[in-house]
Amino acid sequence: MDLRQGIGLRRLGTTADEFQQDLLSSLYYRRGTTVESASARDAYEALALTVRDRLADRRARTAAAHYASNPRWVYYLSAEYLLGAQLEQNLLYSGTGEVAAEAVKAFGRSLEEIEELDVEPGLGNGGLGRLAACLVDSMATRDIPAVGYGIRYDFGIFKQSVEDGGQAERPDDWAFQGNPWEFTAADDRQTVGFYGHTEPVAGSEIRRHWVPGEIVLGEPSHMLVPGYGTETVNIVRLWRARGSEASFDLSRFSAGQYAEAVQEAVRAENISKVLYPDDSTELGRELRLKQQYFLCSCSLRDIIRRFRLRNQDWDDFAEKTVVQLNDTHPTIAIPELMRLLVDEYGLGWDRAWSITRRTFAYTCHTLLPEALETWPVHLFERLLPRHLEIIYLINMLFLQEVEARFPGDAERVRRMSIIGEGDERRVRMAHLAVVGTEAVNGVAELHSKLLRETVLQDFADLWPAKFQNVTNGVSPRRFVKLANPRLSDLITEGLGDDSWLTDLEHLAGLEPLAGDAAFAERWRAVKRANKVDLGAGDPDSLTDVMIKRFHEYKRQQLKLLHVITMYHRIRENPAGDWVPRTVLFAGKAAPAYHAAKNIIRLINAVGATIEADPVVSPYLKIVFAENYNVTLAERIVPAADLSEQISLAGKEASGTGNMKLALNGAITIGTLDGANIEIRARVGEENFFLFGLDAFQAAEMRIGGYHPRAHYERDAELRAALDAIAAGEFGGVGREVADSLLGWDEYLTLADYRSYLDAQEEVERAWRDPARWTRMSILNTAHSGFFSSDRTVADYAARIWRVGPVTVPRED
279 binds ligand 73E (CB under 6 A): yes
Among 436, 674, 692, 785, binds ligand 73E (CB under 6 A): 674
User: CA 569 to CA 616: how far, in whole Å?
Assistant: 9
Q: Which of 39, 57, 86 is nearest to 180 (CA)?
A: 86
Answer whether 666's CB lies under 8 Å from 780's CB: yes
Nearer to ligand 73E, 288 or 310 (CB): 288
Q: How far is the CB of 427 from ligand 73E (least distance, A)?
A: 16
Q: How far is the CB of 76 from ligand 73E (least distance, A)?
A: 13
Answer whether 627's CB lies under 8 Å from 160's CB: yes
Answer whether 187's CB lies under 8 Å from 333's CB: no
Answer whether 162's CB lies under 8 Å from 604's CB: yes
Nearer to ligand 73E, 439 or 718 (CB): 439
- The contact pattern for ligand 73E, residues 96-135, with x = CB under 6 A and - = no contact, is -----------------------------xxxx--x----
DSSP 708: H
237 binds ligand 73E (CB under 6 A): no
Identity of residue 528: R
Q: How far is the CB of 569 from ligand 73E (least distance, A)?
A: 33
Relative orientation angle of helices 770-782 and 517-534, to the nearest 10 degrees: 90
Beta carbons within 8 Å of 21's beta carbon, 6+ residues apart: 13
Q: How far is the CB of 288 from ligand 73E (least distance, A)?
A: 9
Q: Which of 726, 729, 720, 733 is nearest to 609 (CA)?
A: 729
Answer whether 136's CB lies under 8 Å from 324's CB: no
Q: How far is the CB of 593 from ligand 73E (least distance, A)?
A: 12
Q: How far is the CB of 552 from ligand 73E (least distance, A)?
A: 13
CA-to-CA separations, 285 to 216, 379, 427, 578, in angstroms, rounded? 19, 9, 14, 50
Answer whether 520's CB lies under 8 Å from 771's CB: yes
Task: Tell me how many degrees the CA angle 490-492-496 measures, rounded to the nearest 5.
Answer: 120
Among 340, 443, 446, 751, binds ligand 73E (CB under 6 A): 443
Among 118, 188, 264, 278, binds ligand 73E (CB under 6 A): 278
Q: How far is the CB of 125 from ligand 73E (least distance, A)?
A: 5
Nearer to ligand 73E, 79 or 520 (CB): 79
Nearer to ligand 73E, 264 or 327 (CB): 327
Answer whether 233's CB lies under 8 Å from 224's CB: yes
Answer whether 505's CB lies under 8 Å from 682's CB: no
Nearer to ligand 73E, 188 or 278 (CB): 278
Q: Which of 162, 63, 16 is nearest to 626 (CA)?
A: 162
Active site residue ranges: 365, 548-549, 554, 656, 660
Nearer to ligand 73E, 137 or 279 (CB): 279
Decide: helix, strand or coil at residue 276.
coil
601-660 residues in contact with ligand 73E (CB under 6 A) are 652-656
Nearer to ligand 73E, 104 or 558 (CB): 558
- What long-range pairs does 402-411 form, CB within 8 A, spacing at least 24? 402/462, 405/462
Q: How far is the CB of 658 from ligand 73E (least distance, A)?
A: 9
Beta carbons within 8 Å of 194's beta carbon, 6+ residues apart: 212, 213, 214, 215, 216, 290, 293, 383, 384
- The contact pattern for ligand 73E, residues 484-523, with x = CB under 6 A and - = no contact, is ----------------------------------------
Q: How far is the CB of 443 from ligand 73E (least distance, A)?
A: 4
- The contact pattern for ligand 73E, residues 201-230, with x = CB under 6 A and - = no contact, is ------------------------------
Q: How far is the CB of 472 from ligand 73E (least distance, A)?
A: 5
* Nearest residue (beta carbon) to ligand 73E: 127
Instruction: Tell the burial category of 444 from Cβ atoms under 10 Å away from its Cβ (0-12, 13-18, 19+).
Output: buried
328-387 residues in contact with ligand 73E (CB under 6 A) are 365-366, 371
Q: How far is the CB of 669 from ligand 73E (least distance, A)?
A: 17
Nearer to ligand 73E, 23 or 82 (CB): 82
Instruction: Tell the burial category of 408 from Cβ atoms under 10 Å away from its Cβ (0-12, 13-18, 19+).
Output: exposed
Among 89, 94, 138, 280, binds ligand 73E (CB under 6 A): 280
User: CA 448 to CA 439: how far, in whole Å?
Assistant: 12
User: CA 651 to CA 674: how far, in whole Å?
Assistant: 8
Decide: helix, strand or coil at residue 631.
helix
Size of site (CB under 6 A) for ligand 73E: 20
Q: Could you please report the per-residue DSSP string of 243-270?
A: --GGGS-HHHHHTT-HHHHHHHHHHHHG
Nearer to ligand 73E, 123 or 416 (CB): 123
Q: How far is the CB of 678 from ligand 73E (least distance, A)?
A: 12
Nearer to ligand 73E, 327 or 752 (CB): 327
Identify the helix (H) or strand (E) that includes residue 360.
strand 360-363
DSSP 548: S
475 binds ligand 73E (CB under 6 A): no
Identity of residue 252: R
Nearer to ligand 73E, 623 or 653 (CB): 653
CA-to-CA separations, 334 to 14, 146, 466, in angstroms, rounded? 46, 19, 17
Of 81-89, 174-182, 274-282, 307-315: span binding ligand 73E (CB under 6 A) = 274-282
Q: Which of 564, 557, 560, 556 is nearest to 721 (CA)?
A: 564
Nearer to ligand 73E, 62 or 676 (CB): 676
Identify the helix (H) or strand (E) that includes residue 622.
strand 620-625
Instruction: Kindly list the residues in this chain that would bind ligand 73E in the complex (CB under 6 A).
Output: 125-128, 131, 278-280, 327, 365-366, 371, 443, 472, 652-656, 674
